Structure 1
Amino acid sequence: MPAASGRVLVADDSQVIQQLIRVNLELDGFEVMTVSDGAECLEAVARFLPDVITLDLDMPRLDGLGAVGRLRADPHTRHIPLVLVSASVVPRHAPVGVDAAVAKPFVPAELVSVVRRLAAEGRGGPRAVQLAKRVAPCRPGPRTLTP
C-alpha cells in the first residue's frame, strides 16, 4: 500500500459514489472518511481534520453549496480545499469558494489527480490565487484626465 497522501472527507448521498471515490483515493494512499450529506460533513470535519473535502451538490439536509458557504465562513475550515463532484456542475465554472469541480460521471483517475494536487498545494497556495483571479478578474476602470 502506498504511503499516506493525506486525508479526504467525501460527502455524497450515494453510497455507490462514496465507495467509488473511497476505493480510488485509498489506492492512491489517502485516508478517507465518507458522510451522506453536508450536515454530516460539518460535524465530521472537526474530528477528521481533512486535507481536502469532496462534495456533491444535491444532498439531503444541507446541500453542497450550503456546506461550501459554511465551511468558508468558519476560520477553522476556510483553508481546506473543496472539490465539487456533481452531475450539476460544469468543471470550468466552479462556484465561488470551490477550488475545483469534477462532473459526474467522472474518470476516477482524474478525480484522484485533482485531489492529489489540491492536497499538495493547500488552499493558500498558487491555486487559490489562480481561482481568485479567474472568479473576480481585476479590470482597470476608464482613465480620464480632468483639467
Structure 2
Amino acid sequence: MSDVLGRVLVVDDDEVIRQLIAVNLTLEGFEVETATDGQDCLDRVLDVQPDVVTLDVMMPRLDGWATAARLRSEESTGHIKVVMITARAQDDDKRRSRGIGVDAYLTKPFDPAELIDVVRDLALSSRTG
C-alpha cells in the first residue's frame, strides 16, 4: 500500500479556492485532481476514481447539488464520499445536501485543518468499508 491517503477530486469554479484546497490536501498526502465545475467533474470522475469529491455549490453549467445527486444516482459513482464546500450556510441548504446524501458540509471561509480532517476520515471510511 502506498503512502497516499486517498484520491480527491476538488471541484470549484474559483481557481484560487480550487488551488487552496488542492495544495492543502496534497501537502497532507492526498493525490489530488481538480475540475472547474459540476459537468467537468462528471466528465472526469470515472477516470480519476476518487475516494472523495469536494464540491462547491454555486458553479456554472452544473451546480454542486445537481452534481452530488448525479454522483449518488449512478452505480459506478454512488460510493464516492462527497463534501460540500460552500458559502451557503443556511439550514435549508444543509438539509438539501443531507437529502441528496452528501457526507459532509463545510462553509466558506473554511478552516483548512478541518477540511483535511473531514476528507481524511471520509477517505479512510471509503477504503475500509
CA distance in 1, matches of 2:3, 2:128: 24
Q: 1:122, CA displacement in angstroms? A: 1.7
TM-align CA RMSD: 2.1
Name structure 1 gaps, 5 residues minimum. Answer: 126-147
Provide the rounded CA distance (Å) in 1 between the counterparts of 2:79 and 2:89: 22
1:93 corresponds in structure 2 to 94
Distance (whole Å) between structure 1 residues aligned to residue 90 and residue 127 of structure 2 = 21
Please tell me whether the aligned partners of residues 57 and 65 of structure 1 are also in contact (alpha carbons under 8 angstroms).
yes
Q: Which residue of 1 aligns with 2:60?
A: 60
**TM-score normalised according to structure 2 size:** 0.89
> 1:4 aligns to what?
4
Q: Which structure's residues are more often helix, by fraction?
A: 2
Percent identity between matched residues is 52
CA contact (8 A) 2:58 2:64 kept: yes
Map of 2:16 onto structure 1: 16
Secondary structure, counterpart of 2:110 in structure 1: coil
Q: Give aligned pairs, total.
A: 124
Residue in 1 aligned with 2:32? 32
Q: Is the alpha carbon distance of 1:90 and 1:112 closer, same or farther for their aligned partners in structure 2, counting shifts above 3 Å?
A: farther
In the alignment, which of 104, 115, 119 is matched to residue 115 of structure 1?
119
Helix, strand or coil at the partner of 2:34: strand
1:133 corresponding residue in structure 2: none
What amino acid is aligned across from residue 99 of structure 1 in structure 2? D
The 3-state SS of whatever aligns with 2:3 is coil
Structure-2 separation of matches of 1:24 and 1:102 = 15
AA matched with 2:80 = I
Q: CA deviation at 1:93?
A: 3.3
Higher relative contact order (CA 8 A, sep 6+): 2
Distance in 1 between the 2:69 and 2:89 partners?
Answer: 16
Tell me if the contact between 1:79 and 1:123 (Cα under 8 Å) persists in the aligned partners.
no
Work out which of the two has the higher radius of gyration on C-alpha atoms and give 1 or 2.
1
Given the alignment of the two structures, is residue 103 of structure 1 paired with residue 107 of structure 2, yes or no?
Answer: yes
5+ long unaligned stretches in structure 2: none
